[in-house]
Structure formats: C-alpha cells, structure tokens
Amino acid sequence: MVWNKRIFFLFASFVTLLGVFVSCKISYKFNGSSIDYSVVKTINIEEFPNRAPLVYASLSSDFTEKLKDEFSSKTALRFVEHDGDLQISGEISGYNVVSSGVNSSGEAMDSRLQMSVSVRFVNKVNSTESFERTFSSYQTFSNEYTIDQVQGELNEQLIEDIVSQIFNATVANW
C-alpha cells in the first residue's frame, strides 16, 4: 500500500511539472525588437535637420547615421527611400548649454548639455502605434572644461541615449 502511494505521488508530481513546463512560454528576443517580419518588412528614416538655436556642425548627420545604424544592427528591416512600412522623421529641436549647479558663492560649478529631438513615427501596418513625441537627454560636465573640450564626447552619449529611447518606443514596445 505504501509503495502504491509513492508511485502515485511521483506520477502526480511528474504530470504536474510537465503541465507547468508545457503551459509556460518564455519568449525573449536578443535583438530587443518585437517586429512581425511577415507583415513589417521595410523602414525609411529621413535626415534629422538641426533646428535648434545652437548649431553643432555634424550633429544632424551624426544623429541620423546612429539612428539608422541602430535599426540596421537590431532589426532585419530593409531600408527604403520612401513609403516604408515604418517611417521615422523629425528634427533636432533643442540643443543648449545651461548651468546646473551653483556653489556657496553663487558661481556655476557644473553645466549641462541638453538635446531634444522631435520624432514623427508612422506605422503603416498598425496605425495605433504611430506617434509624434519629443525625446530628450542631457549630460553634465564640470565648468573646469569648456563646451568645445567636451562637446564631441557628450554628443556621442546624448545621441546614443536618444536613439535608444526612439528604438524602444518604436519597435521594442517597452
């Protein structure tokens, strides 16, 4: 009798575990995107002009190329010149330096380089996912340095952060 109870218990445990494993589905995509490639096949990304009052010569092209690289490396979408299933356009709408910290004598200790990008995203396959939104980021730097000394490195960080935000909002669905 004890032997039958053990066999029944082991069998019941096995069936329960099997049911749990079969019913649970863990899905993770290592590229970070959640695109149905059977429906969405193409993307076009337009040049993002710098419309901010403060102009950094290569900011527009650096930003646009980094955005294209992000989609190229993390998706299997084919780039087209016009009328893609996904369409991304916009402009760099803000780019400025502001003081961010003040010491006891009222002098600025740190400065902040801020960047804002207005984005228009059109999803022709699922129009409910289309949006117009502004993405922003900032980097703080010490006033021991001039903006000319740190601008190149800070721009890379700002662009990387904003591109990541745009990617997540458009195709990662986070």
Per-residue pLDDT tens over the stretch 97-133: 998 767 767 676 899 999 999 999 999 999 999 999 9
pTM, rounded to two decimals? 0.78
Q: Write down the H helix ranges in the chain.
A: 2-23, 59-74, 147-167
Q: CA 107 from chain center: how many Å? A: 36
Q: Under a CB-based contact definition with an 8 Å cutoff, are residues 107 and 89 in contact? A: no
3-state secondary structure of 70: helix
Q: Give the residue with greater pLDDT, 56 vs 174.
A: 56
How far apart (Å, rounded) are the C-alpha atoms in residues 168 and 128? 16
Q: Give the residue with greater pLDDT, 168 vs 99.
A: 168
How far apart (Å, rounded) are the C-alpha atoms in residues 151 and 108? 18
Write out pLDDT tens, residues 60-79.
Answer: 999 999 999 999 999 999 99
Residue-level pLDDT at 27: 35
Residue ranges covered by each domain of the chain: 30-172
| CATH class of segment(s) 30-172 | alpha beta
Q: Is the pLDDT of residue 158 over 80?
A: yes
Residue-level pLDDT at 172: 87
Mean pLDDT for 158-171 is 97
Q: Under a CB-based contact definition with an 8 Å cutoff, are residues 94 and 115 in contact? A: yes
Give the model's confidence band at 16: pLDDT under 50 very low, under 70 low, under 90 confident, else very high.
Answer: low
DSSP labels, 5-53? HHHHHHHHHHHHHHHHHHH------TTS----TTT--EEEE----B-SS
Task: State the residue for tokens 């993002």.
Answer: 48
- Residue 131 token pair: 């949006």
Q: Is the pLDDT of residue 33 over 70?
A: no
